[in-house]
């Protein structure tokens, strides 16, 4: 029987944070969440939840008021391509997320907490290695010379260096993961901050059979998508391992966006025409390189994309029905 831990989840009202709260609670731990808001989709299972702004140091002091066994820092100003690649939110993204990381990490250090998990992103990889959709290079050691294609990616790179610097200079044991496109139920599915799998599930759910859906770009750009449960599993395994990272947590099942649309359409049982329209896209190709995580943790995500999409589509279709009254037929 594992002893109960005291766990802090920053960003606990968000997609990954709320799943992490559920999982760590199910393990029998005492869990505190902190976020600007509660989850939009389910009541929190945290024992304690602070609604507060982690840019504010006094909120960090309130949140980090004890020597937590585990701290997960997931709070960030983020969204899908429609939010992070247009340039319209760059100053907010950099300022808000960097301030949160500076505050939370330093507060943990001063509270003598030895370890914080930090969620970086595949968006920190250099754009020049992701121009070929068929063979992107996202090996962890390909990060430099740095050239992320968004300010979101630059902030992630700065912050992952910050966590590692505290390890070097302050004897901490922070852990850094680079998440690759996490998806699943209870993620943002409308409003502008949703990411490709959720947006596509919504569009497919709202479309009539034999109708059409809009896809940003030519749909030939490649990505991989990791189901939320595997993301949480990898996060816990990394945190509780002796490996510092940075390490990719992602799927290596690469698909084009057109293929993703076809998979979702098949799940929905619909035939749909793809209407390719201009839109913010990001890099041409990206896939998780899982060699390092397999080597370091003896584990890597393995669930098929279609299995995760089936669960996600079912949830989003339900949201569409109850939120818009649109019949998903």
Least distance (Å) between residue 202 CB and ligand NAD: 16
Bin 282: left if φ > 0, else alpha if -120 < ψ < 50, else beta.
left
Q: Does the annotation count 227 as an active-site position?
A: no
Check binding of 77 to ligand NAD (CB under 6 A): yes
Instruction: Identify which of 226, 236, 233, 235 has the alpha carbon closest to the alpha carbon of residue 303.
Output: 226
Q: Tell me if 231 sits within 8 A of 22, measured CB to CB.
A: no
Residues sharing a CB contact under 8 Å with residue 7, sequence separation 6 or more, in sequence order: 24, 29, 30, 31, 32, 68, 69, 70, 71, 72
Least distance (Å) between residue 307 CB and ligand NAD: 18
CB nearer ligand NAD, residue 74 or residue 172: 74
Question: Which of the stretches 126-134, 174-182, 301-309, 314-322 binds ligand NAD when contact is defined by CB under 6 A?
Answer: 174-182
In the shown chain, the binding pattern of residues 207 to 246 toward ligand NAD, with x for contact by CB under 6 A and - for none, equals ----------------------------------------
Check binding of 101 to ligand NAD (CB under 6 A): no
Q: How far is CA 112 from CA 36, 107, 108, in A?
A: 25, 9, 6
In the shown chain, the binding pattern of residues 80 to 99 toward ligand NAD, with x for contact by CB under 6 A and - for none, equals ----------------x---
Catalytic residue among 152, 163, 166, 313: 152
CA separation for the pair 248, 2 (Å, rounded): 27
Burial 61-87 (b: 16+ CB within 10 A, else e): eebbeeebbbbbbbbbbbbbbbbbbee
Angle at 26 between CA 20 and CA 32, to 5 degrees: 55
The one among 29, 101, 103, 119 contacting ligand NAD by CB under 6 A:
119
Check binding of 35 to ligand NAD (CB under 6 A): yes
Question: Which of the stretches 31-39, 64-72, 213-221, 238-246 binds ligand NAD when contact is defined by CB under 6 A?
Answer: 31-39
Which residues inside 11-30 make contact with ligand NAD, applying CB under 6 A? Answer: 11, 13-17
Least distance (Å) between residue 198 CB and ligand NAD: 10
Residues sharing a CB contact under 8 Å with residue 296, sequence separation 6 or more, in sequence order: 241, 243, 247
The one among 129, 181, 222, 290 contacting ligand NAD by CB under 6 A:
181
Residues linked to residue 8 through DSSP beta bridges, in sequence order: 32, 71
Question: Which of the stretches 81-89, 139-147, 177-185, 282-290 binds ligand NAD when contact is defined by CB under 6 A?
Answer: 177-185
The closest residue (CB) to ligand NAD is: 14
Q: Which two tokens mark 164? A: 């590692």
CB nearer ligand NAD, residue 39 or residue 129: 39
Question: Which of the stretches 160-168, 178-186, 257-265, 297-305 binds ligand NAD when contact is defined by CB under 6 A?
Answer: 178-186
Residue 255's CB is within 10 A of a number of other CB atoms, namely: 18
Least distance (Å) between residue 96 CB and ligand NAD: 6
CB nearer ligand NAD, residue 125 or residue 313: 125
DSSP letter string over 167-192?
HHHH----EEEEE--EE-TTS--SSS
Instruction: Identify which of 189, 209, 210 has the alpha carbon closest to the alpha carbon of residue 321.
Output: 189
In the shown chain, the binding pattern of residues 40 to 69 toward ligand NAD, with x for contact by CB under 6 A and - for none, equals -------------xxx--------------
CA separation for the pair 55, 117 (Å, rounded): 18
The binding site for ligand NAD (CB under 6 A) comprises: 11, 13-17, 35-37, 53-55, 74-78, 96, 100, 119, 121, 179, 181-182, 195
Residue numbers annotated as active site: 152
């Amino acid at each position: 029987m594992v002893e109960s831990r005291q766990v802090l989840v920053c960003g606990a009202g968000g997609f990954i944070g709320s799943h992490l709260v559920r999982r760590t609670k199910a393990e029998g731990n005492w869990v505190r969440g902190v976020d600007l808001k509660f989850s939009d989709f389910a009541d929190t299972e945290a024992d304690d939840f602070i609604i507060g702004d982690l840019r504010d140091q006094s909120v960090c002091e309130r949140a980090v008021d004890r020597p937590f066994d585990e701290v997960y820092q997931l709070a960030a100003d983020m969204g899908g391509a429609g939010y992070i690649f247009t340039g319209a939110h760059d100053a907010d993204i950099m300022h808000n997320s960097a301030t949160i990381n500076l505050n939370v990490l330093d507060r943990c250090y001063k509270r003598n907490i030895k370890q914080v998990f930090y969620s970086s992103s595949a968006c920190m990889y250099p754009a020049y290695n992701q121009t070929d959709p068929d063979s992107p290079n996202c090996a962890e050691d390909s990060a430099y010379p740095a050239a992320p294609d968004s300010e979101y990616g630059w902030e992630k790179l700065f912050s992952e260096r910050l966590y590692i610097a505290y390890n070097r200079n302050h004897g901490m044991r922070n852990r850094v993961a680079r998440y690759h496109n996490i998806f699943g139920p209870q993620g943002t599915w409308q409003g502008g901050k949703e990411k490709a799998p959720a947006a596509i599930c919504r569009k497919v759910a709202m479309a009539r059979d034999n109708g059409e859906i809009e896809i940003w770009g030519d749909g030939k750009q490649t990505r991989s998508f990791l189901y939320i449960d595997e993301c949480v599993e990898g996060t816990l395994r990394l945190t509780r391992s002796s490996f510092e990272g940075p390490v990719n947590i992602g799927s290596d099942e690469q698909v084009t966006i057109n293929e993703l649309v076809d998979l979702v359409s098949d799940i929905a049982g619909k035939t749909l025409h793809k209407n390719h329209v201009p839109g913010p896209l990001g890099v041409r190709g990206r896939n998780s390189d899982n060699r390092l995580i397999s080597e370091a943790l003896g584990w890597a995500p393995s669930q098929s994309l279609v299995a995760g999409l089936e669960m996600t589509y079912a949830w989003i279709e339900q949201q569409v029905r109850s939120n818009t009254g649109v019949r998903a037929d």
